[in-house]
Amino acid sequence: MISYKNHLLAAISNGNKNRLRKSAISERLNLKEKFIERNSIKISNELLKNFSLLNKNVHLFYPITKNKEVNTWYIHKAINSNSIIFTSFYEKTKERWECISFNPSVKFTNGKLNIPVPIDYKLETFDKIEVILVPLLVFDKFGNRIGYGKGIYDSILTKLNKNCLKIGLSFFEVSKENIQVDFYDQSLDYCQTPNQLYKFK
């Protein structure tokens, strides 16, 4: 495990998010299916070795296939009998992202932004979550992350209890370039890659 101390002065490059995001999206869209599945399994196995997720309230993100994201269904299958699984979905009537729990065996459908969501669920509150797995495109050595630029997870992470572990999942290792930090950005506690666990606390 590589450990870094987090601080708010990580940004040294002005306006580098869009450039880093564009480069990461291009790199990821070129990944082959075999690479995605092989490394998703490695991430799942390493995550479960490094963290005890059993009997925990775990918030999962589910992969948008066309975006070639980490396949978290391997994690889902590994913990579904011993953990309470949470995820988020967009509630149109309230125009906001809601926290939900669900039976792990329930069927899924594609929701807003083609994000897989369970068809049957129970409304919850984000402060119940003990561990949240966070999607990302890029992360730096201070735990700052770049997503798709919609601010979804920055908003969700502000609603968690202070003891919740925030763990990013990434096919790629830490960026050599520090990410520009905006006032609303929320940093990670850890990031799990296929080969390494990074610690930022």
Give the strand pairing for 138-139 and 145-146.
Answer: antiparallel
**Pair of tokens at residue 172:** 């790629």
Q: What residues are paired with 122 via a beta bridge?
A: 101
Distance in angstroms (rounded) separating the CA atoms of residues 110 and 56: 26
Q: What residues are paired with 87 via a beta bridge?
A: 100
Q: What residues are paired with 84 via a beta bridge?
A: 57
Tell me the residue type at 169.
Answer: L
Answer whether 191's CB lies under 8 Å from 168's CB.
yes
State which residues form the domain around 152.
2-199
pLDDT band at 6 (very low <50, low <70, confident <90, very high): very low
Distance in angstroms (rounded) separating the CA atoms of residues 45 and 14: 37
What's the structural domain count of the chain?
Answer: 1
> pLDDT by residue (tens digit) across 93-139?
888 899 999 999 999 999 988 999 999 999 999 999 999 999 999 99
Answer whether 127's CB lies under 8 Å from 168's CB.
no
Report the CATH number at residue 188.
Answer: 3.40.50.10420
Q: What are φ and ψ of residue 194, in 5° steps?
A: -60, -30
Q: Nearest CA to 99 among 120, 80, 83, 123?
A: 123
Distance in angstroms (rounded) separating the CA atoms of residues 141 and 174: 6
Q: Is the pTM of this model over 0.75?
A: yes
> pLDDT by residue (tens digit) across 41-83?
999 999 999 999 989 999 999 999 999 999 999 999 999 988 9
Mean pLDDT of all residues in 2-10: 47
